[in-house]
Amino acid sequence: MTTDTVRAAIVTGAARGIGAATAKRLAAEGFAVAVLDLDEAAGKAVVADIEATGGRALAVGADVSDEDSVTTAVQRVATELGAPAVLVNNAGIIRDNMLFKMTVSDWDAVMNVHLRGAFLMSRAVQSFMTNTKWGRIINLSSTSALGNRGQANYSAAKAGLQGFTKTLAIELGKFGITVNAIAPGFIETEMTAATAARMGISFEEFRDAVVQQIPVGRAGKPDDIANAVAFLAGDGAGFITGQTLYVAGGPTV
């Protein structure tokens, strides 16, 4: 980081998995990191890990799909860590099912967290970024945006995030704010373990079957995504915006 002032970053869904790895990586890059999660207590372990390595972090509880909760959380970050300069919209849930079995609540829950959440969080931080003429918004999409059996809700939400990303890039670019999306492929997390459970197979069996189709010959790790986020959050990525970077171990169709 080239600036003398420590920049604040917010990572949603940061208590575990990709979010936790991203929070730790951004802290290592010199950001003061708000570890935002539905369960504030769950984020404290990530904060402790960051502080143990000399970083600065804050656990914040918030429901990203609730407007008042988001407003309160972002204001708390601004007060305690500083004006948000980076936002990583990572919070996500799955409610997988075939279309004929999918309930309205399954659909709404996924849309609310992924799309409504990204909208509310981005809207809440944009004024801080426009005031300082510097900002990075990074949305977590997925290869499921290309279509995935049993994930009509999740696929639609992740594809929607890509359109959201492109539009914000157009609107916010003149203020020095870049907006990009990262679309992970198969990453070893609790979420992919839950997918295996839904399919009625062990996680190891599921992972090994998927890896056979990945050109680099391995499953992704949360750090693989955190590394991509760190690049897009840096000063060096200032001429990259409105893009979706597939981090999937191979080309996507």
Instruction: Give the ranges where the chain is alpha helix by DSSP (H).
Output: 17-28, 40-52, 67-80, 104-111, 117-132, 152-172, 190-199, 203-211, 222-232
Task: Scan for tokens 């599921």, then name that residue.
Answer: 206
114 forms beta bridges with none
Q: How many CB atoms lie within 10 A of CB 68?
A: 10
Q: pTM value?
A: 0.96
Task: Scan for tokens 């919070």, then name that residue.
Answer: 91
| Cβ partners under 8 Å of residue 175, min gap 6 | 129, 130, 133, 135
Residue 154 annotated among the catalytic residues of the structure: yes
Predicted local distance difference test score (pLDDT) of residue 6: 92
Predicted local distance difference test score (pLDDT) of residue 5: 81
Tell me how far apart the alpha carbons of residues 14 and 166 are, in angstroms, rounded to a whole number.
24
Tell me how far apart the alpha carbons of residues 81 and 11 are, in angstroms, rounded to a whole number.
13
Q: DSSP label at 99? A: G
Predicted local distance difference test score (pLDDT) of residue 2: 42
Q: Which of 107, 134, 154, 246 is catalytic?
A: 154
* Domains parsed from the chain with CATH numbers: 8-185+222-247 (3.40.50.720), 188-219 (no CATH)
Q: What is the mean pLDDT of each run of 10 residues along the chain (253 residues)?
A: 76 98 98 98 98 98 98 98 98 96 98 98 98 98 96 98 98 98 95 83 91 96 98 98 98 85
